[in-house]
Structure 1
Amino acid sequence: MTQPANLPQASVMRRRAMWSSYLGSAVEYYDFLLYGIAATLVFPKVFFALDPKVATLASFATLAVGYVARPLGAIFFGHYGDRVGRKKMLMITLYMMGVSSFLMGLLPSYAMIGVAAPLALIALRLVQGFAVGGEWAGATLLSMEHAGKKSRGFAASIVGSGAPSGAVMATLALMPFAAMEESQFLSWGWRIPFLLSAVLVALAAYLRHSVAETPDFLAMQEAQKAQPPQKREIPLLVVLRCYPWPLLNGVLGSLACLAMTTLTATFMINFAIIVGGHAQSKALAMLTIVNVIHIFAIPAFAILSDRIGRKPVMIAGALAGMTLIFPIFHLITSGSTWGLLLGLMLANPVIHAMMGGPISAWLGEKFAADIRYSGMAVTFQVGSTISAGFAPLVATWLLMRSGGTDPTYVGVFFVTLCVISIMAILFAPESFRKTLDVTTNAPGGGDNEPAGQQNQASTAT
């Protein structure tokens, strides 16, 4: 892809794309992670008339439901994102997330309408998951495709920083109400942060409207116009036919990274409160501090991957996960506030950030621009559904199997995910210096670099 003639304007648009992707992602994940925190602290008591442990398990099951909807959203928004543009799909996902979160804040409790309450919660959760299925890839591409080759990792990681930013906003919004008397908090206090999402959505929508479509998407459209008229194949089918190995490799390579982020935000907080004996407000305060650090740790490791490669940074993160997961559980249950803080810091700003910083670019570099939205979205969301969606549920079940206090089985579960991810990353070629393809012309593609694609216009510096 040739450089734009007006370089200062391109630089302004690049920064605007990064900021809008970051802030939009923060708002999206505010909604999504607010649900994760509420699934731990509120929903078992408000929406499920069950034994406390079973209610917590049921609440985490609704958390998993949202992840099940993600691949469907990835397919839908990936298809139209590759056909009509990244920006238009991002506006739709933003509004879907905001409306569903706002309505959650208005839901009646189980005591008011019975089983209809958890059913309505599940329905809105499905809408959330469907929207997030298209949000991540679109926001990542909006930033990454405006960046140059030497800074792709950093640009793509900005969306990753939006997740802990959203978590910080969600936690800060919940903390004053979580400190209320429990009856008031469960009655109406928890609802206010959900209702506030309407304000955040309005802000994010304003920011996204100011960003132009990505240069890669526009270059892809021009390349297709220059080719003889032909029927365009469905992007997902191209991914499945031409990119089966990059798709599978990306899913397996992301398992440990994606599991860690939800285990920290949900299971570990619940574990710290119930088993570690930490106060609810203190656990949320420590999580907030950790997420602030996490915001900066993700792009820091992404910048490192722009210098030395994606693979060494991601593998180091998975190895750290295998080594540190059991000390993390010991620190969380030590009874010390500093121990809790250190344990959560090792989990997210170290283990997750080392894997999560480079992962957005690592996945994006596997696909050509004409199917990149579909390829990234499906790869990430399938991996997210398998690991992140079910990790808190599996971890809670494993903890119950071991008596409710021994996290050994949970640690073994996470170590297994790390081993799988390491093997997948080892078998993938390095891509941080790769010239990205604009169109897919021949079977193969992605990491295979077929000859038919090597001469395509690309996202050069």
Structure 2
Amino acid sequence: MQASMPLNASTDRAAGPSSTRRVAAASLAGTTLEFYDHFIYGAAAALVFPKLFFPQSEPLVAMLLSLASYGVAFVARPLGAAVFGHFGDKLGRKSILFITLLMMGLATFLIGCLPTFAQVGMLAPVLLVLLRIVQGLALGGEWGGAAIMVNELDPSGKRRGLLGAVVQIAAPIGLLLANGVFALVTWQVSEEAFLSWGWRVPFLLSAVLVGVGLYIRMKVQESQVFEKEAKGREEHAPIMEVLRHYKPQLAIAFFARLGGDIAFYIFTLFLLYYVPAKMGLPKSIALNAVLFGAVAQILFIPVAGWLADRIGRRPTLMIGGIGGAIWAFVFMQMVQSGSPAAIMTASFVGMVLVSFMFSPLASFLPELFATRVRVTGASLGFQFAGVFGGALAPLIATGLVARFDSLTPVAIYLAIVSALIAVAAFAARETAHIDLKDAGR
């Protein structure tokens, strides 16, 4: 009995309030900066890259090529999930948090330094796509590492939903920062100056922000759950074990994530294209709507995380999925009204519902997998959905509008994938209060 006390005391200290705050702050800060880097590319892809990197094409084709370059990162994200998930499950969760943040920051800074098509021709879009792939690899590993770190702070499961919300809220904060910086630059400089050098400012600022994130993460300790249950297992290959033994869990993770990802990008990135290009309204209206939607998520992701601990992951996801399927049609009608207030309200309510689709995932997905494969399994499920969700959603939505000259097909598309969230949640077992040692069974 006495011999075991130092170990237990050490474990208790590591899981105490100060450690919880430190890990939560490090996960929030680092993941926010990763999403900031990710979203400034999305804003630039909609606002400036068609003119600067794809000017040889017709306007619609240039926009589609620019959005395709944005989507390339989503294809790279599952590879990043597999690579960094492997090391996260073999070497520890902490190790991948430094590498992914550094990769993302360097790639984003270099995008801000790139020459344009007018300066170097086809080399410009090639370099742009290569750096976008690096961004995708980094974000593919970041989410899993951060989500599992906060998840494993509470093995018994009383507040994993709320802790997971800390990671999920990083996305709208990053979105708010990215579009806020872009909005500030567009307000301060002329259109000519913005296309000449102003668009580079948000990318170059990333260097400072990533430095702050790395400093915060230096003080984080390794997950105690990993140290006790999975460290030193040299014989297992996490990705092979996930693909062999966790196919149902991967399918549930995929469909639980898919609809929310599509809803997120239609409610945000799609507006940046549709409002100025198809409706002829100032792009500031679309930017303001996106910012308003980000505020909605910042307010309601913690609410959804708290609710996921109280009533369960499945009911919370179902609220988001069914609500999103209904709101898809209301959203399109409000956007078509052309009223700035209606457009911003549509985005706000849409992103409230996305909060219920998105927030529980940082607890629900890790709870589907055992400790020894948790980073790999949760990351793969989350990121593969991104290939069919965030990567294709802007292209599909833009293509549907071009083909049918109507937002109704986009609403139908969004309603179907939102409903799939409810189906996936219904097919899963409730994991809200299980002990993590029983996860994946």
TM-score by length of 1: 0.90
Are residue 346 (structure 1) and residue 352 (structure 2) matched?
Answer: no
Among candidates 81, 84, 88, match of residue 95 of structure 2: 88
Q: Does the 8 Å CA contact 1:277/1:335 hold for their aligned counterparts? A: no
Among candidates 16, 21, 27, match of residue 22 of structure 2: 16
Report the Cα distance in structure 2 between the residues aligned to 1:397 and 1:321, rounded to whole angstroms: 21
What is the deviation of 1:42?
0.8
Q: Does the 8 Å CA contact 1:275/1:333 hold for their aligned counterparts? A: no
Are residue 43 (structure 1) and residue 49 (structure 2) matched?
Answer: yes
Report the Cα distance in structure 2 between the residues aligned to 1:155 and 1:318, rounded to whole angstroms: 22
Among candidates 195, 220, 226, match of residue 217 of structure 1: 226
What is the deviation of 1:8?
8.6
What is the deviation of 1:293?
2.8
What is the deviation of 1:52?
1.1
What is the deviation of 1:232?
1.0
Among candidates 55, 65, 75, match of residue 68 of structure 1: 75
Which residue in 1 is equivalent to 2:324? Answer: 321
Which residue in 1 is equivalent to 2:192? Answer: 183
- Of 322-331 and 130-139, deviating more is 322-331
Call closer, same or farther: CA 1:113–1:197 in 2, change over 3 Å.
Answer: same
Which residue in 2 is equivalent to 1:393? Answer: 395
| 1:320-367 residue CA offsets vs partner (Å, 9 max, x unmatched) | 11111111112122122210111101221x221011111111101001
Letter in 1 for 2:229: M
What is the deviation of 1:10?
1.8
Q: Does the 8 Å CA contact 1:368/1:436 hold for their aligned counterparts? A: yes
Structure 2 unpaired stretches of 5+? 1-6
Which residue in 2 is equivalent to 1:138? Answer: 145
Are residue 154 (structure 1) and residue 162 (structure 2) matched?
Answer: yes
Which residue in 2 is equivalent to 1:253? Answer: 256
Letter in 1 for 2:159: S
Among candidates 272, 275, 280, match of residue 272 of structure 1: 275
Which residue in 1 is equivalent to 2:204? Answer: 195
What is the deviation of 1:143?
1.4
What is the deviation of 1:197?
0.1
Structure 1 unpaired stretches of 5+? 226-230, 439-444, 450-461
| 1:189-245 residue CA offsets vs partner (Å, 9 max, x unmatched) | 0001100000000000000111101111111246x68xxxxx612001111111111
Call closer, same or farther: CA 1:260–1:3 in 2, change over 3 Å.
Answer: farther
Report the Cα distance in structure 1 between the residues aligned to 2:390 and 2:98, rounded to whole angstroms: 25
Are residue 172 (structure 1) and residue 180 (structure 2) matched?
Answer: yes
What is the alpha-carbon root mean square deviation over aligned residues?
Answer: 1.7
Q: In structure 1, the residue corresponding to 2:437 is in which secondary structure?
A: coil
Q: Does the 8 Å CA contact 2:292/2:347 hold for their aligned counterparts? A: no
Report the Cα distance in structure 1 between the residues aligned to 2:203 and 2:392, rounded to whole angstroms: 23
Q: Does the 8 Å CA contact 2:89/2:230 hold for their aligned counterparts? A: no
| 1:120-143 residue CA offsets vs partner (Å, 9 max, x unmatched) | 100000000011110001011111
Q: Does the 8 Å CA contact 1:24/1:208 hold for their aligned counterparts? A: yes
Report the Cα distance in structure 2 between the residues aligned to 1:26 and 1:136, rounded to whole angstroms: 10
Call closer, same or farther: CA 1:140–1:423 in 2, change over 3 Å.
Answer: same
Q: In structure 2, the residue corresponding to 1:416 is in which secondary structure?
A: helix
What is the deviation of 1:3?
7.5
What is the deviation of 1:28?
0.4
Q: Does the 8 Å CA contact 2:47/2:272 hold for their aligned counterparts? A: no
Aligned residues: 432
Which residue in 2 is equivalent to 1:457? Answer: none
What is the deviation of 1:437?
2.1
Calculate percent identity across the aligned residue pairs: 36
Are residue 422 (structure 1) and residue 432 (structure 2) matched?
Answer: no
- Of 429-438 and 91-100, deviating more is 429-438
Report the Cα distance in structure 1 between the residues aligned to 2:419 and 2:197, rounded to whole angstroms: 44
Which residue in 1 is equivalent to 2:376? Answer: 374
Report the Cα distance in structure 2 between the residues aligned to 1:397 and 1:94, rounded to whole angstroms: 34
Report the Cα distance in structure 1 between the residues aligned to 2:13 and 2:220, rounded to whole angstroms: 16
Q: In structure 2, the residue corresponding to 1:54 is in which secondary structure?
A: helix
Call closer, same or farther: CA 1:9–1:310 in 2, change over 3 Å.
Answer: closer
Report the Cα distance in structure 1 between the residues aligned to 2:408 and 2:338, rounded to whole angstroms: 18
What is the deviation of 1:105?
0.3
Are residue 204 (structure 1) and residue 204 (structure 2) matched?
Answer: no
Are residue 97 (structure 1) and residue 104 (structure 2) matched?
Answer: yes
Q: In structure 1, the residue corresponding to 2:153 is in which secondary structure?
A: coil
Q: Does the 8 Å CA contact 2:106/2:207 hold for their aligned counterparts? A: yes
Letter in 2 for 1:44: P
What is the deviation of 1:272?
2.1
What is the deviation of 1:268?
2.0
Report the Cα distance in structure 2 between the residues aligned to 1:250 and 1:334, rounded to whole angstroms: 36
Report the Cα distance in structure 1 between the residues aligned to 2:275 and 2:336, rounded to whole angstroms: 6
Report the Cα distance in structure 2 between the residues aligned to 1:114 and 1:318, rounded to whole angstroms: 44
What is the deviation of 1:429?
0.7
- Of 331-340 and 200-209, deviating more is 331-340
Among candidates 345, 355, 358, match of residue 357 of structure 2: 355
Call closer, same or farther: CA 1:86–1:273 in 2, change over 3 Å.
Answer: same
- Of 258-267 and 339-348, deviating more is 258-267
Q: In structure 2, the residue corresponding to 1:401 is in which secondary structure?
A: helix
Q: In structure 2, the residue corresponding to 1:389 is in which secondary structure?
A: coil
Are residue 78 (structure 1) and residue 85 (structure 2) matched?
Answer: yes
What is the deviation of 1:6?
4.4
